[in-house]
Amino acid sequence: MKTNFNAFSLIEILVVLAIIFTVATVSFSRFSFFNKFIVKNEVDNLYNTFSFLQQKAIASNCEQKLYFDLNNNSYFYFLNGKKVNHKLANLVKFDFKQGAFGPPSTPMKPIKNKITFKKNKQGEFFAEFYLNGKVDSGTIYFVDKNYKNMFALTCPISQVSYIRKYRYFKNKWVII
């Protein structure tokens, strides 16, 4: 009596496992790229908001303020009496990697605060935009939920206010 057994050979199983491993590796690297893209997008959004409020202060001859809500991972300002709120993407938060040095322009000391702008009496961080185009000095740090990608937006102390974006890459700050 003869019986037929249908089975996969060892070679076929290894080929399938190699394909699965390759697809998983490519997917993981794309996911990491996606996280970096999302954090950078949030930094770009805040940069645009800073630029807008700086120009609005000059054009309207009225100081502007941008407030940061750390509990809700958001920031807001008032436009024509209405509150304009922006909540960060779920993958992003105001924070920094432990052991990172800052501020980005001259990293000398370990970072201790997520935001280094002024605080008001209610304990809210805020950036102020003045009629002459100057912006309060300070830094805001962003990370993804896995703490793999870190970025910063800064307004350094200077005669002329300017806004800079940085990425923390291989333990160094790189201006973007």
* Mean pLDDT split into 10-residue runs, the chain, 176 residues: 70 87 70 84 97 95 96 95 96 95 92 95 94 93 94 86 91 93
pLDDT value, residue 31: 61
Q: What is the pTM of this model?
A: 0.81
Asked whether residue 3 is assigned to any structural domain, the reply reads: no
Tell whether 4 is covered by a domain. Answer: no
Q: Please report whether residue 5 resides in a domain.
A: no
> How many separate domains does the chain show?
1
Quick check: is 65 in a domain?
Answer: yes
pLDDT at site 1: 61
Q: Which CATH number do you get for residue 22? A: 3.55.40.10
pLDDT value, residue 147? 93
Domain range for 23 is 10-175
Quick one: the chain helix, strand, coil %, rounded to 5? 30, 30, 40
* 2 within a domain of the structure (yes/no): no
CB half-sphere exposure, 127, CA atoms < 13 A: 31
Q: What integer pLDDT is reported at residue 108 of this predicted model?
A: 92
**Strand ranges in 9-120 using DSSP code E only, listed in sequence order:** 64-69, 74-79, 82-87, 92-94, 101-102, 109-110, 118-119
Quick check: is 26 in a domain? yes
What is the structure's pLDDT at 32?
65
